[in-house]
Copies of this chain bind each other. A is one copy, B any other.
């Protein structure tokens, strides 16, 4: 009782706390009926114990392997996926084909000619043109970053192999990628404009081992403005050290195959809604991968997650009111071409797309649940976020972008969520030969499956409007 008098004199910080508490208390949280809550809890438990998702990732990466967009292997992946989805009991299984320009590597080699002859570890960037047959030899000019190259005069770049040594910052939310990827997208174009013969970049990645990271240049799946390749980090450092001693001449040999048209496609399967099947909750991933690894974290993991989550919902005693639509997009890596094909095809059905999400950020745990809902729908966001808290997932902002292949849907009015995965290690293997099945942790994958099953079921079962 001694301190009662002091507590009657609120301090500024105390007043602030009270205000904050009243705001928090004022936030509405949508109610979830007990029967629905029980189903959600069952789905979460089954998700954490799941074996279907992990097996899906294992078998896709093993029985198909790498799945370059437009290749025979991507077609094998579609057929494989159709069979798996049928065995799992999904409805309305279909391939929705579309055409893409085709690019693949045939040769990508680089070596130091002088002063110290030695091979370098590189990988051609997607969209690179070929060098002349047998390769080109030229002196190297190094830039710290894209801005330095942009500021350089044509005189100093002309006739040279440009080398951009910009490093990438490791972040949990992947925000380091946005900055680092600019050099990959734009290096060849700017080099070409200034008369350079080819562009080499330090790999867009966070690991330090002798893997080079491929990825798309600016022109989606078409042939770009010149030969371009990424160096492994130790090779970027080797080149930098040699350049400190004097001029360095490189030989770069890139040979690519291109075709104006190749076949890709989206694979779709559904859990049909029991009341309004035309209303869909879309959960997605992409089926294609780069050619170097077997595309386990990018993005067989995402496919394992959404397929298994939908399969758990399928195995409930009663289907939810709305449909769950699983979309395994094709040709994501070469410019979100499956995403654009889908948006075009379904443009007149967008108001029946209740919610969309894509899993395409590896296989690590989700740590934050982000939404992009109308203001009036925020109580639904909070209800979902409360459900997910026991999985170690914090509430996130309301500015979610969804995912690459559904990034065009918010503009068409579709609410999206981003169950944000931990990306700390993602860019260690992203687009490298080392993106293989052994990198998948089943318990982390299962936390994703539980999450997707929970929110997708809620969105399909409740009469919530997220717009």
| A433: interface (CB < 8 Å) | yes
- Residues from chain B with a CB closer than 8 A to the CB of A211 are 209-210
Q: Say which residue of B210, B242, B245, B294 sits within 8 Å of A238 (CB atoms).
A: B294
Given that A209-B209, A210-B211, A241-B58 are known contacts, is A234 also in contact with B437, CB under 8 Å in the complex? yes
- Residues from chain B with a CB closer than 8 A to the CB of A293 are 210
Chain A residues 263-305 with CB under 8 Å of chain B are: 293-294
| A370: interface (CB < 8 Å) | no
- Residues from chain B with a CB closer than 8 A to the CB of A437 are 234, 237-238
| A155: interface (CB < 8 Å) | no
CA distance A207 to B436 in the complex (A): 14
| A121: interface (CB < 8 Å) | yes
| A63: interface (CB < 8 Å) | yes
A438 touches B234 (CB 8 A): yes
Q: When each residue 331-371 of chain A gets 1 if its CB lies under 8 Å from chain B and 0 otherwise, what string results? A: 00000000000000000000000000000000000000000
Binds B, one of A110-118, A134-142, A310-318, A450-458: A110-118
| A64: interface (CB < 8 Å) | yes
B118 touches A210 (CB 8 A): no
B118 touches A294 (CB 8 A): yes
A433 touches B63 (CB 8 A): no
B434 touches A118 (CB 8 A): no
A433 touches B115 (CB 8 A): no
Interface residues of A (CB under 8 A from B): 58, 61-66, 72-73, 76, 112, 115-119, 121, 208-211, 233-234, 237-238, 241-242, 245, 293-294, 432-434, 436-438
Using A63-B116, A65-B118, A210-B293 as known contacts, list a sample of 20 further A-B pairs with CB atoms less than 8 Å apart, ordered by residue number in A.
A58-B241, A62-B242, A63-B245, A65-B112, A65-B116, A65-B238, A66-B118, A66-B119, A73-B117, A118-B294, A209-B209, A209-B211, A210-B211, A210-B432, A210-B434, A234-B434, A234-B436, A234-B438, A238-B294, A238-B437
